[in-house]
Amino acid sequence: MKAVVYNGPRQVSVSNVPDARIEKPTDAVVRMTTTNICGSDLHMYEGRTNFETGRVFGHENLGQVIEVGAGVDRIKKGDWVCLPFNIGCGFCENCERGLTGYCLTCNPGTAGAAYGFAGMGPFQGGQAEALRVPYADFNCLSLPKDAQEKEDDYVMLSDIFPTGWHSTELAGVLPGETVAVYGAGPVGLMAAHSAIIKGASRVFVVDMHDDRLKLAELLGAIPVDMRRCDPVEEILGQTDGLGTDRGCECVGYQCCDRHGREVNNFTMNSLVATTKATGGIGVIGVFLPQDPGASDALAKQGKMAFDFGALWSKGQRIATGEANVKAYNRRLRDLIHVGKAKPSCIISHRLGLDQAPDAYKHFDARDEGWTKVVLKPAA
């Protein structure tokens, strides 16, 4: 089958790889109809992780089941399913508690497994004609009758919508509160969408790209263009100097200063500054334990100069980590089904698998107009 293969920093190709197949009786094979490129793919694409060459990208996957193993009960051939990016077993201590992003058995020795992901096990990604899904009964989210009609909305249940939602859960967003979201990439936009659905009174979204800030505004948020103002001064100025009740980090370790230079503590220290005393901060942007490609010595070791004294004095809470997609995807699916959420509104490009190498280039450069790419392997 054809798949998007990583060949080294900023080199991907659409190549032939062995067909996805049933390896254990609990597996299913899904024909991929929509699979997205994610900001997380870019860390790997740029060579800023230990992702192995020859591996297939793709952890935001939706399609139709074409085969099930003998041990699969619930899922049937022909079902339309969306797959959480994290793979859970369903029976370990963490999966039992709903923390499927930290499954203890799928990738032994580490907590957490995912498709096509550095350090998350040997699983191939879904930017391909088909995908092997382990523990299919547990991992497949079944989609309703409008699966194909709303396919571009439902595919966002694989990662960015639940992940954006998770950042608002980690921050503790309540109806009526004010929220600052750093990053207007797909995940930050979904954090803003989530906060607004939850009834936040005002949501600020910080970024430096017109197209992304425009989408934030379309979603009902207040755009803060960090090229034109200091985001900390701006948010404090608009909140009587107090800051917002909650803050969401949706950028990660490759965050930049106002001049576009990578400075890994920029968003975290901004959040401490723009979050109210006793407020909550949710961090879903990825920070790595090592980053040999970073330019400063602390960042190379996965460390940063963090304003801990200010955080402590303000009595703020901070929570971090991978989104446990299964904790939210069923309920977010139902919001899409009834028309109360529309995550597809951020999509800029729908392309065939063959166009993936070019799409990676543009999305990685954050080129104007490339806000979210979905690939259509079956088209």
Ligand X SMILES: NC(=O)c1ccc[n+]([C@@H]2O[C@H](COP(=O)([O-])OP(=O)(O)OC[C@H]3O[C@@H](n4cnc5c(N)ncnc54)[C@H](O)[C@@H]3O)[C@@H](O)[C@H]2O)c1
For 317-350, give the DSSP string. EEEE----GGGTHHHHHHHHHTTS--GGGG--EE
Count of C-beta atoms within a 10 Å radius of residue 360: 23
User: 244 in helix, strand or coil?
Assistant: strand
Smaller CB distance to Zn ion: residue 186 or 243? 186
Pairing of strands 222-225, 244-249: unpaired
88 binds, among ligand X, Zn ion, none (CB under 5 to 8 A by kind): Zn ion
Helices (H), the chain: 39-45, 93-96, 136-139, 151-154, 160-171, 186-197, 210-218, 231-237, 266-274, 297-300, 308-313, 329-337, 356-364
With CB under 5 A as the contact rule, which of the stretches 15-23, 30-38, 235-243, 259-267 interacts with Zn ion? 30-38
Q: For residues 155 and 333, give the distance between their C-alpha atoms in angstroms, rounded to a whole number.
A: 10
The contact mask relative to Zn ion for 342-361 (x = CB under 5 A, - = no) is --------------------
95 binds, among ligand X, Zn ion, none (CB under 5 to 8 A by kind): Zn ion
Smaller CB distance to Zn ion: residue 58 or 247? 58
267 binds, among Zn ion, ligand X, none (CB under 5 to 8 A by kind): ligand X
- Residue 261, judged by CB atoms within 10 A of its CB (0-12, 13-18, 19+), counts as exposed
Q: Which amino acid is at 307?
A: D
The contact mask relative to Zn ion for 155-194 (x = CB under 5 A, - = no) is ----x-----------------------------------
Q: Which two tokens stand for residue 308?
A: 């801990």
Count of C-beta atoms within a 10 Å radius of residue 304: 18
Name every residue whose Cβ is closer than 8 Å to that of residue 170 and which is 6 or more positions away in sequence: 248, 280, 281, 282, 283, 284, 319, 320, 321
209 binds ligand X (CB under 6 A): yes
| Min separation Cβ 82 and ligand X, Å | 15
346 binds, among ligand X, Zn ion, none (CB under 5 to 8 A by kind): none
| Min separation Cβ 364 and ligand X, Å | 9
Smaller CB distance to Zn ion: residue 126 or 279? 126
40 binds Zn ion (CB under 5 A): yes
Residue of 35, 222, 322, 332 that binds ligand X (CB under 6 A): 322
| Min separation Cβ 375 and ligand X, Å | 15
For 256-292, give the DSSP string. B-TTS-B-TTHHHHHHHHHEEEEEEEEE-S---S--T
Q: Which amino acid is at 324?
A: N
* Percentages (nearest 5) of helix, strand, coil residues in the chain: 30, 25, 45
Is-contact 192 181, C-beta < 8 A? yes
38 binds Zn ion (CB under 5 A): yes
Closest by CA to 21, choosing from 180, 132, 122, 158, is 132
Residue of 58, 84, 125, 183 that binds ligand X (CB under 6 A): 183
114 binds ligand X (CB under 6 A): no
Name every residue whose Cβ is closer than 8 Å to that of residue 85 and which is 6 or more positions away in sequence: 59, 60, 61, 114, 115, 117, 158, 159, 325
Applying CB under 6 A, the site for ligand X has a residue count of 33
366 binds ligand X (CB under 6 A): yes
286 binds, among ligand X, Zn ion, none (CB under 5 to 8 A by kind): ligand X
Residue of 323, 327, 341, 356 that binds ligand X (CB under 6 A): 323
343 binds ligand X (CB under 6 A): no
The contact mask relative to ligand X for 133-162 (x = CB under 6 A, - = no) is --------------------------x---
| Min separation Cβ 20 and ligand X, Å | 23
Is-contact 155 60, C-beta < 8 A? yes
Smaller CB distance to Zn ion: residue 69 or 84? 84
Smaller CB distance to Zn ion: residue 14 or 89? 89
Q: For residues 85 and 113, give the distance between their C-alpha atoms in angstroms, rounded to a whole number.
A: 8
Residue of 206, 216, 219, 268 that binds ligand X (CB under 6 A): 206
Contacting positions for Zn ion (CB under 5 A): 38, 40, 60, 88-89, 92, 95, 103, 159
**Which residues contribute to the site for ligand X (CB under 6 A)?**
38-40, 42-43, 159, 163, 182-188, 206-209, 212, 226, 250-252, 255-256, 266-267, 284-286, 322-323, 366
